Structure 1
């Protein structure tokens, strides 16, 4: 198992090692096959640039200057923060806001290599996103900068007391004491202005970062279409009213997305059939296990929410999936035997269009390279020449970051080294590695969709 991934730094080398590296580069220059630039179809996604000789220092500098992952800000209430889902994030405000390291934004960030700033906070309203501090944290929109390119928002439920009313009715009908009341008049009145509040949030994000793509992620479906269950002890009238809140909340979010120019991520529809009474729930019941939050998302819910957000990123062009072709003609970056176990070799293999050769990546920004649900990883977080690469569970570490570099290379910024085909091998199943950047065909990688 890879241990902690160390930061890249300046390393001294022995004369013998340096000489061996120079000999190897010269050998490559003699033996690497000549290859003209392929004329790719218009749909092909490519990171190719003109191949020119570069030194390792130049490649490191280029990698440092290239964005390493999308700048991503997550905003919202508890349905974005993930209270009760272990473990809690580290960092400012995470504990006070009950932010889980396994909420949907954290999963997306790990799997795409995005640079996440999670500003979500349990109990937040639209006012907490725009102007009002909460739990010692500034308004959430303050996290958005001109560099931000992706923003996910789940908000509005607390404006209309969605979870508060569900909790109150569960207490009342479940035999609780000192139960809160529900002011239906106030809730209904707020719905008249909710879409406008949500539009204001989107507009504020666009004002802070005109180039940001905003995704409005609506709320999980909590209640079944009809009836209830033992652990959702609501009366027929209470159920009908709570379903109306859910429906109106989804409508307000859809309206705001359309008017303000955001992308709607329809989690309410996707989670239909995964309510608190279902056999495969994505939310907790009204009587959850100790430490869990009543009617809030569970791990399965956050996992599926992340899938939905990633699909939206693909549709918006912020993520793409393509084969990674080598400068060695006819060869692609491949996962050995389509294996999904941690440590499976990532290798050179004849291009065949299988899922083992379809890599999801972030165009121009760099980040993770993901296939078969896992990420391209430098073994053990190594930074030395000849360190092999492998498939590993996505973890957001420096060992899993790759950026486009000079000469169609893929640079791992942590090491300053390039993804490399050892000795310009043409043999199938040659395990790939990192090596000093040298612009040979063995380090040319083109994304072709």
Structure 2
């Protein structure tokens, strides 16, 4: 958080992978975010598949946690995650026609998330094999427990090597090691999770050791641990509100892999980690009109809710999350400050809208404390310098008046 009365640079917004209803993304630089990892980062089976090179081959979803985070905060996402990846595919080995993932990390990167290691120890492969065997399948293969156990002796070191490689490629980047979703309940299983007690116990041991190795690597190599395994506890494949699929999911879905709710949960956890590291902040946007603040009408979360001028009151309707120094979105109540219809004309109203990574939701700090929407080249404006509560704000030619002056402060 910033000190009261301190003006904070919002920065420049970013092009984001993904789309939405409010307009097409335009140019601009911003917080550079690179996502690395295996299928639990890529999101196979969650529609729609991303566009771009390698997305289909890697089963990379436009609703994986990295894509959600990028839309929420207005980051410039490069997603190199790929289903089936191992630490070797991150560091040295091409996969699915794509180069090693580390090549996606440049010196400009400021955030790098990594979910990797599960395939090194055959986590999903083994639980699939056991479920096939116990569920009456054929040609199920076998599980080499000795090989898995031996690899665990090397896993923390492999993960440390990944973090070290990221730091080498991007010295300014903050690295977040996001561990794996919890798949199984603490005890027992359920109808669509066909495992014996011994098989389930062994898979729980893999999950536990994988989480421990990730935590060790984060501590040793100077990364932030994002403990998704703990956060997803109680959202296993047998839970009432699962974050992962069962062994027998709906058509098109991937057994034992994250669903939409899981990826949203993971994204929320990553955003909390970004806030903890100071890469996201939340503040009140004070107007140059004395005593007035940027406010969401009635604390409503619906698309199209007016964003307005209102007496400063410290409520959640006036708490805006942003990326200091890099810019992107201004987000409150789960939605983003949005130019209605992606308009570019004077007097176009602003509103709250689902975060979608478009140019209508990008804001740049300009002269005289202004907030500029680069898509239109216009400034966030209080019509006629109104002092009347509930006056809906608009975009207007930048003019340096108090009606376009905004100060982000913690109170």
Q: Is the 8 A contact 2:179 2:228 kept in 1?
A: yes
Residue 393 (str. 1) matches residue 354 (str. 2)? yes
Residue 114 (str. 1) matches residue 47 (str. 2)? no
Q: How far apart are residue 43 of structure 1 and its match?
A: 5.7
RMSD value, Cα? 1.5
Residue 341 (str. 1) matches residue 302 (str. 2)? yes
Residue 448 (str. 1) matches residue 387 (str. 2)? no
Residue 419 (str. 1) matches residue 383 (str. 2)? no
Alignment of 1:315-394 (within 5 A): 315-394=276-355
Aligned partners of 1:125 and 1:433: how far apart in 2? 49
Residue 294 (str. 1) matches residue 255 (str. 2)? yes
- Residue in 2 that maps onto 1:58: none
Q: Is the 8 A contact 2:9 2:324 kept in 1?
A: no
Which 4+ stretches in 1 moved above 2 angstroms?
40-49, 66-69
Aligned partners of 1:141 and 1:44: how far apart in 2? 41
Q: How far apart are residue 440 of structure 1 and its match?
A: 1.0
User: Do the aligned partners of residues 400 and 115 (structure 1) sit closer, same or farther apart at CA in structure 2, a change above 3 Å counting?
Assistant: same
Residue 164 (str. 1) matches residue 105 (str. 2)? no
Q: Give CA-to-partner distance per residue, 1:328-371, whole Å, 9 cap, x none.
A: 11000001111111111101110001111010101010100110
Q: How far apart are residue 68 of structure 1 and its match?
A: 4.3
- Residue in 1 that maps onto 2:105: 144
Could you tell me which runs of 5 or more consecutive residues in structure 2 were left unpaired when the two chains were aligned: 11-26
Alignment of 1:99-110 (within 5 A): 99-110=60-71
Alignment of 1:36-435 (within 5 A): 42=3, 46-47=7-8, 68-435=29-396
Aligned partners of 2:9 and 2:180: how far apart in 1? 41
Could you tell me which runs of 5 or more consecutive residues in structure 1 were left unpaired when the two chains were aligned: 1-39, 50-65
Aligned partners of 2:261 and 2:213: how far apart in 1? 26
Aligned partners of 2:238 and 2:392: how far apart in 1? 48
Aligned partners of 1:183 and 1:196: how far apart in 2? 21
Q: Is the 8 A contact 1:130 1:140 kept in 2?
A: yes
Q: Which has the greater radius of gyration?
A: 1
Q: Is the 8 A contact 1:375 1:393 kept in 2?
A: yes
Aligned partners of 2:8 and 2:190: how far apart in 1? 53
Aligned partners of 2:354 and 2:6: how far apart in 1? 25
Aligned partners of 1:241 and 1:400: how far apart in 2? 47
Aligned partners of 1:397 and 1:323: how far apart in 2? 23
User: Do the aligned partners of residues 199 and 45 (structure 1) sit closer, same or farther apart at CA in structure 2, a change above 3 Å counting?
Assistant: farther
Aligned partners of 1:96 and 1:118: how far apart in 2? 13
- Residue in 2 that maps onto 1:17: none
Q: How far apart are residue 289 of structure 1 and its match?
A: 1.2
Q: Is the 8 A contact 2:8 2:409 kept in 1?
A: no
Q: How far apart are residue 46 of structure 1 and its match?
A: 2.5
Q: Is the 8 A contact 1:47 1:408 kept in 2?
A: no
Q: Is the 8 A contact 2:160 2:220 kept in 1?
A: yes
**What is the total number of aligned residue pairs between the two structures?**
394
Q: How far apart are residue 67 of structure 1 and its match?
A: 6.3
SS in 2 for 1:345: strand
